Amino acid sequence: MRVSAVEATIATLEAAVRDLGARDPLRRRGAPVGRGCRARRAALRRTQIARCEAGVRVQRLAGPGRTHRCPLAGAPHRHLRGPAVTTLETAARLRELPALDAAYRAGALSPVQANEIASAAAADPAAERELVDVAATEGVPGLRERCRRVKVAATPDGAARHEAIRRTRSLRHWTDPDGVFRLDGRLLPEDGAELLAGLEPLRARIFVEARAAGRREPYEAYLADALVAMARDARTGSDATRPVPRASIHVRVDHTAFRRGHVEAGETCEILGIGPIPVASARALVADAVISAIVCDGVDVKSVAHLGRTIPARVRTALVARDPVCVVPGCHTRTGLEIDHIVPFAEGGATCLANLCRLCRWHHYLKTHQGCRLTGGPGDWRWESHESHGHGPPRDIGDEVGPAP
């Protein structure tokens, strides 16, 4: 009976695909397919709004003590901040954020975007309208990065914020209903960067071994394997005599802030790919040989504090600092980035910082083989294309490649 049901479902789907192929929603605005999609999207939006409104009612009732929270409902929250908790917090804030409320009800924002904006606007209400506008042009990664910076700027006392993170550091573990061992941690940014730097050489080694064996798995899978390998090696001492290459941690800091000892409005002190840290932590980190300090001014890199073991190491370090993500506007890909000559080397392009950028594999392919052009520079990159090439590579391409060296 189950096989028959599956076969019937497949037949229905095949018929729907054939019917869809015979239609052109772009030409026929009133096509049933288009109307059906719009109706489903509107229904989904109404459901999302109703969920937020229900959350608001729960919050209002909780205030005067008119509700009783079941202890079981709080169990997942002991381990992680789930989507339900975030949605309730967003629902409670919508009353005080009219621009966000209006955009969300109009269907201009997804629940993820609304959650990010609500969290940042709670720290700086004046940034609400700007973040709503950013959401219309940037993807979720870009919006999330902007929201993070808004929250950092709204808490000028970096030392106090750093100490608050230190006090709440934790590592929790549990087994979920599917039997999966789960981890949830809170670390200082510099500790997290050091952990990732220690895992990266192991991950790279596991990646090479897996490819040699014909296995192709996501980047995150190899990172998990690296964590287990690190723990196993520490327990058994099996790799004590085998040298492991050290991955670099890149600290980007404004020169004036580094000399002053703290950051002011518009200045940066952060570990690339991790987040902001106090200048005092940056000074302590730079004493380690595995750390490179990148001195910057605005959007451009002015100096690098170390020389590497390969000829272009100084340029490479500056490039990693300047281009932590694919430079194509709106892309935000961080893993598997490739260095590209803006003016091709074969056409006389120099191998210097001004003529180099980092692109994801997809945009590198489009620029090299499909005639797309990258113009402008740091802070003003422009992607020029005369034909549609899609929005990104297949998921498995980007996921199987770790950060560029």
Give a yes or no: residue 23 inside a domain.
Answer: no
Same domain, 55 and 143: yes
Q: What is the mean pLDDT of residues 224-251?
A: 73
Decide if pLDDT at 95 tops 60. Answer: yes
**198 near 379, Cβ under 8 Å?**
no
Decide if pLDDT at 66 tops 80. Answer: no
User: Where does the pLDDT of residue 169 fall: very low under 50, low under 70, confident under 90, or very high at 90 and above?
Assistant: very high
Q: What is the mean pLDDT of residues 245-267?
A: 75
Paired tokens of 214: 């014909």
Q: Give the domain-ending residue among 179, 205, 236.
A: 236
Q: Give the domain-ending residue among 212, 236, 260.
A: 236
Give a yes or no: residue 221 inside a domain.
Answer: yes
Nearest-5° angle of CA 392, CA 380, CA 343? 75
Same domain, 132 and 56: yes
Same domain, 228 and 252: no
Check residue 152 and give its pLDDT: 78
Same domain, 62 and 123: yes
Same domain, 205 and 273: no
Same domain, 270 and 294: yes
Instruction: Say what the pTM is.
Output: 0.49
Give a yes or no: residue 225 inside a domain.
Answer: yes
Partners of residue 362 on adjacent β-strands: none
Same domain, 368 and 396: yes
Give a yes or no: residue 4 inside a domain.
Answer: no
Count the domains in the chain.
4
Q: What is the mean pLDDT of residues 371-400?
A: 65
Who wins on pLDDT, 338 or 61? 338
Give a yes or no: residue 314 inside a domain.
Answer: yes
Q: Which domain holds residue 61?
A: 44-68+79-154
Same domain, 223 and 206: yes
Check residue 20 and give its pLDDT: 60
User: Where does the pLDDT of residue 400 fall: very low under 50, low under 70, confident under 90, or very high at 90 and above?
Assistant: very low
Max avg pLDDT among 5-14, 62-71, 222-231, 240-249: 222-231
Give a yes or no: residue 59 inside a domain.
Answer: yes
Same domain, 230 and 329: no
Decide if pLDDT at 129 tops 50. Answer: yes
Give a yes or no: residue 14 inside a domain.
Answer: no
Max avg pLDDT among 153-157, 211-215, 253-257: 211-215
User: Where does the pLDDT of residue 360 fall: very low under 50, low under 70, confident under 90, or very high at 90 and above?
Assistant: very high
Paired tokens of 50: 């109703």
Give a yes or no: residue 30 inside a domain.
Answer: no
Same domain, 108 and 129: yes
Check residue 377 and give its pLDDT: 87
Same domain, 99 and 85: yes
Q: Give the domain-ending residue among 296, 322, 348.
A: 322
Q: What is the mean pLDDT of residues 185-212?
A: 91
Same domain, 177 and 252: no
Report the chain's mean pLDDT, rounded to a whole number.
74
